[in-house]
Amino acid sequence: MRSLFFLAAACAVLPATALANPVVDPGAIDGAVANFTGHGIGEPGGARQPVDRRLRLAACPQPLTLEMHGGGQASVLVRCPVAGWRLFVPLTSTPQAAASAFASASASAQKVVARGETVTVALRGRGFALQRQAEAMEAGAVGDWIRVRPAGRDAEPMRARVIRPGLVGMEMP
């Protein structure tokens, strides 16, 4: 009887705890991105994949704000200004964008990033995207892998691929 009382008390407390810190359903973000782009997950022009279900973003009391982000509209920036979070959702490229990127990459063999230049490093992975400032330690053309040193005294150099002038990046598994 005593253990039944504790079980009932725990069940009564659980919903109150869950309501104390409400989170955004990642499926709702997927739906908002699909409505914004007009394309479903995995379709050309839509999100590459669903938002990672492990994310625990604070609930947004206002409607989410969405806008295209990146060169060639490579991702959608989803924000909740009130809760203070933002999320970059990578998009599947359309055949026209892929052809345009290939043409511009093959046409630009000249160096578009100079040694010592401040560049943005974009890291993309399954359900996330991060950006950070860095200094190019080598010059490079579009498609080249160069060494960059992220901003900060103790930052270790890393290798990133030149995407366009001022932007280098890499895909994470």
Task: Kindly report the CATH number assigned to the domain that includes residue 161.
Answer: 2.30.30.760
Any domain includes 87: yes
Q: Are residues 113 and 142 in the same domain?
A: yes
More confident residue, 103 or 68: 68
Residues in the chain: 173
pLDDT of residue 117: 93
Find the mean pLDDT for residues 60-84: 85
Any domain includes 97: yes
More confident residue, 66 or 99: 66
State yes or no: pLDDT of 118 exceeds 90. yes
d(CA 66, CA 34): 11
Any domain includes 4: no
**End position of a domain, from candidates 55, 74, 107:** 107
d(CA 7, CA 5): 5
* Tokens of residue 141, six digits: 């053309």
* Tokens of residue 100, six digits: 């345009």
Q: What pTM was estimated for this model as a whole?
A: 0.47
Q: Are residues 99 and 115 in the same domain?
A: no
Any domain includes 8: no
State yes or no: pLDDT of 98 exceeds 60. no
Q: Are residues 119 and 45 in the same domain?
A: no
**End position of a domain, from candidates 107, 127, 161:** 107
Any domain includes 1: no
pLDDT of residue 107: 45
Q: Are residues 115 and 85 in the same domain?
A: no
State yes or no: pLDDT of 115 exceeds 90. yes
User: What domain range is 118 assigned to?
Assistant: 108-171
Q: Are residues 27 and 98 in the same domain?
A: yes
pLDDT in tens, 41-56: 998 889 999 999 998 9
Q: Are residues 153 and 95 in the same domain?
A: no
pLDDT of residue 170: 86
Q: Are residues 123 and 71 in the same domain?
A: no
Q: Are residues 125 and 103 in the same domain?
A: no
Any domain includes 3: no
The torsion of the CA quartet 14, 15, 21, 27, rounded to 10 degrees, works out to 110
State yes or no: pLDDT of 123 exceeds 70. yes
pLDDT of residue 29: 93
pLDDT in tens, 8-61: 444 454 444 444 679 999 999 999 999 988 899 998 889 999 999 998 999 999
Mean pLDDT of the chain: 80
Percent of the chain at pLDDT exceeding 90: 36
Any domain includes 16: no
Those residues with Cβ within 8 angstroms of residue 162's Cβ, 6 or more apart along the chain or in another chain: 112, 113, 140, 141, 142, 143, 144, 145, 146, 168
Q: Domain total for the chain?
A: 2
